[in-house]
Copies of this chain bind each other. A is one copy, B any other.
Amino acid sequence: MTVLRYAYLGPAGTFTEEALRQVASPDEAVYLPQTDVGSAIAAVRSGAADRAVVAIESTAEGGVTATLDSLATGAPLVLLREVLVPVQFTLVAPAGVPLGGVRRIAAHPHAWVQCRRWLAAHLPAAVHVPATSNTAPAALLAEAAGDAAAVAALPFDAALVPPAAVGTYGLEPLAERVADNPSALTRFVVVGPPGPVPPPTGADKTTLVVHLPDNEAGALLAMLEQFAVRGVNLSRIESRPIGDALGRYSFSIDAEGHVTDERMGEVLMGLHRRCPYVRFLGSYPRADAVAPLVHLGTSDQDFVEARAWLARLRGGDPA
């Protein structure tokens, strides 16, 4: 068995590591922590890693710009899988600190924002001690553990950390599932070099980057009609600037279905014909395993029959 090397946003204990654990356990893969998303993706392009696991979208922030932009240009890469991770935090503290004794809480600013209502309800007097990452305060707590002077010297009493950091750093949970929006999620993708497309499962997604033929509202409408007329739904569409002038956009799109679906194939060919730039970023199973609604006349069978009928017409048999 080949042991794959995974680049990801480290260090140990991050949400990305939690996503990576859903993909491959540390026993059967090499974990290569990176300092940022761009480095993780670059590691695949350079061959330093076989795969990257990177966040692509979150309920709170939307598309992850660094990921979208790194994938949209440069050497081709493809998405092989998606993984959903709930965005919930664990409040941790040195041994012996009761919840009622917490005054200063270390947290990355994003984490603080996503827990604000919980904190107002449970620890209204607590103040925010900004951290540079979700795992940095976990590391400080682990280092100080068991050394009363070191604990006393910490600039905070407690910290909001990813659940995965609790075990990694041997921390003491004071409160779990801390989050204002209990259904908050981050979507991660597994990125690899081009190669055989994962076979269709019946519940797949196809990710694309598309530039519009010109600078008009009508062009976006015409692009969406390429999908609509073949009955392919979109589950995500985001605009990113192309960067050469105001008002020029690149669209990042998730469409429901697989590149081997007849209807998806015709959509892709239509986009290729009409749009100046179309990049295929892969077809892969949906994390939620929801099969797409197949509209009237858009099943593979419908396409196959229509093609046979057209062949008969062209051969002179219009019956």
> A residues bordering B, Cβ < 8 Å?
57-63, 65, 76, 78, 84, 181, 183, 185, 187, 194-197, 213, 216-218, 220-222, 224-230, 232-241, 243-247, 249, 259-260, 265-266, 268-270, 272-274, 279-282, 296-298, 302-303, 305-307, 309-310, 313-314, 316-319
Q: Is B306 a contact of A269 with CB atoms below 8 Å?
A: yes
Q: Is B225 a contact of A221 with CB atoms below 8 Å?
A: yes
Q: Is A318 a contact of B224 with CB atoms below 8 Å?
A: no
Q: Is A58 a contact of B241 with CB atoms below 8 Å?
A: yes
Complex: A230 Cα to B236 Cα, angstroms? 25
Question: Chain B's nearest CB lies how many Å from the CB of A189?
Answer: 13
Q: Is B181 a contact of A244 with CB atoms below 8 Å?
A: yes
Question: Chain B's nearest CB lies how many Å from the CB of A294?
Answer: 12
In the complex formed, the residue of B with least CB distance to A62 is B241
Q: Is B233 a contact of A217 with CB atoms below 8 Å?
A: yes
Q: Is A224 a contact of B226 with CB atoms below 8 Å?
A: no
Complex: A318 Cα to B217 Cα, angstroms? 25
Not counting A58-B241, A185-B245, a sample of 18 additional A-B residue pairs whose C-beta atoms are within 8 angstroms of each other reads: A59-B241, A60-B241, A60-B243, A61-B241, A76-B319, A183-B244, A187-B246, A197-B316, A218-B228, A225-B228, A238-B249, A259-B313, A269-B306, A269-B310, A272-B305, A273-B302, A273-B303, A274-B297
Residue contacts A-B, CB under 8 angstroms, 29 given: A59-B244, A59-B245, A60-B241, A60-B243, A62-B240, A63-B241, A84-B246, A181-B244, A185-B245, A185-B246, A194-B319, A195-B316, A197-B316, A217-B233, A217-B234, A220-B224, A220-B237, A225-B228, A225-B229, A230-B270, A265-B310, A268-B309, A269-B306, A269-B309, A270-B306, A272-B310, A273-B302, A273-B303, A280-B313
Contacts of A260 in B (CB 8 A): 314
Known: A195-B316, A316-B194, A318-B78. A296 touches B245 (CB 8 A): no
Q: Is A303 a contact of B217 with CB atoms below 8 Å?
A: no
Q: Is B217 a contact of A228 with CB atoms below 8 Å?
A: yes
Contacts of A279 in B (CB 8 A): 318
Contacts of A274 in B (CB 8 A): 296-297
Contacts of A273 in B (CB 8 A): 297-298, 302-303, 305-306
Complex: A234 Cα to B246 Cα, angstroms? 13
In the complex formed, the residue of B with least CB distance to A240 is B62
Residue with the greatest number of chain B CB neighbours at <10 A, chosen from A239, A303, A317: A239
In the complex formed, the residue of B with least CB distance to A260 is B314
Question: Chain B's nearest CB lies how many Å from the CB of A69?
Answer: 9
Contacts of A61 in B (CB 8 A): 65, 241
Complex: A169 Cα to B213 Cα, angstroms? 45
Complex: A269 Cα to B230 Cα, angstroms? 11
Complex: A235 Cα to B245 Cα, angstroms? 12
In the complex formed, the residue of B with least CB distance to A186 is B246
In the complex formed, the residue of B with least CB distance to A311 is B265
